Amino acid sequence: MPPKVFVTRALPGTALAQLAAATSLRCWPGPLPITAAQLRTELRDAEGLLCLLTDCIDEPLLAAAPALRVVSSCSVGVDHVEVAALTRRRIPLGHTPGVLVEATADLTFALLLAAARRITEAERFVRENQWTPSRRWEPELLLGKDLHGATLGLIGLGAIGQAVARRAQGFGLRVIGWTPSGRSVPGVTAASFEKVLAQSDFISLHLALSAQTTRLINAAALAQMRGDAILINTARGGLVDEAALLAALRTKQLGAAALDVFEQEPLAADHPLLALPNVVIAPHIGSATLGTRSRMAQLAVDNLLAGLQGRPMPHCANPEVYS
């Protein structure tokens, strides 16, 4: 009997067809994400689960899934999973690092440039018919920030941070960086956390969300940043104290922010960040290219099949289950 597998959302590419050929697969058909209650019902007899970062995989869910022996998330981040609860049950957890590095670094740079050159404000200016003959070309219209010669501060120097550093070098930025492990990487001048905050024109976050990194960028950290600095976050919203960020942006203690991730997603329609002109906003699309999402789906399927067949996963977030 092929193992029963549940997939919480259709994925781009051909990976799910491959999974369907090797398992008894059910894929959530709804146009909306599956709810926690629906997921509990679907997992009653499933041996494998392929999930997304929008699915909360916690102790109560696992208690309702007695046959579950493999979980594979189509994401690099696993902060939506109670990893210790899986490890206690010796369930391997797959994730998808590596394949989304370049796409996420591209989006980081797109947001950095958009905030530096005020692209979203400029587009609104034109679409809202403010580009009138009397304002044809103004010496002080929509003045932004130069990249060349400026300092980019990276908080987190993993694969994505390093890919952002490579792009920054091409733009003539000086790159400094801090990582909790203290390690240094080529092309990035290592600096203390405080120095990165105080010296950077652009500060970009590239850390996983954990108990140690939650709200690392709080009111005290924001107060150390330059008044014209731009904060970019394509990692996780929970790294930033959003209320403190709002206050810093409102009082011009911080120049601007460019954000792909938020404490609560989706962002509420009346969220105060949406009212600020000095904020560029995207809906968590760091890895959203067809090629990258297809590679993520393939890696998620490879992880799931390896787990179901008793082989080590290509990328396992809790490798201690194998020892």
Active site residue 284: yes
Q: Which stretch binds ligand GLV (CB under 6 A): 14-22, 74-82, 187-195, 297-305?
A: 74-82
Q: Looking at 9, 95, 206, 236, which residue is catalytic?
A: 236
Considering CB under 6 A, how many residues would be counted as binding ligand GLV? 7
Question: Which C-beta is closer to ligand GLV: that of 100 or that of 150?
Answer: 100
Question: Which C-beta is closer to ligand GLV: that of 3 or that of 286?
Answer: 286
Q: Which stretch binds ligand GLV (CB under 6 A): 16-24, 39-47, 72-80, 314-322?
A: 72-80
Instruction: Please pick, from the candidates 39, 49, 53, 203, the single residue that binds ligand GLV as defined by CB under 6 A.
Output: 53
Contacts for 209 with CB less than 8 Å, ≥ 6 apart: 77, 79, 235, 236, 238, 239
Can residue 237 be called a binding residue for ligand GLV (CB under 6 A)?
Answer: no
Can residue 92 be called a binding residue for ligand GLV (CB under 6 A)?
Answer: no
Contacts for 93 with CB less than 8 Å, ≥ 6 apart: 71, 72, 73, 78, 81, 83, 86, 316, 317, 318
User: What stretch of H or E contains 6?
Assistant: strand 4-7
Question: Which C-beta is closer to ligand GLV: that of 25 or that of 76?
Answer: 76
Can residue 286 be called a binding residue for ligand GLV (CB under 6 A)?
Answer: yes
Distance CA 244, CA 232 (A): 15
Distance CA 247, CA 104 (A): 27
Instruction: List, as one string, the DSSP characters of 162-197.
Output: HHHHHHHHHTT-EEEEE-TT----TTSEE--HHHHH
Residue pair 164/108 in contact (Cβ under 8 Å)? The answer is yes
Can residue 75 be called a binding residue for ligand GLV (CB under 6 A)?
Answer: yes
Can residue 287 be called a binding residue for ligand GLV (CB under 6 A)?
Answer: yes
Instruction: Please pick, from the candidates 77, 92, 161, 307, the single residue that binds ligand GLV as defined by CB under 6 A.
Output: 77
Question: Which C-beta is closer to ligand GLV: that of 104 or that of 199?
Answer: 104
Q: Looking at 69, 80, 215, 265, which residue is catalytic?
A: 265
- The catalytic residue positions are 236, 265, 284
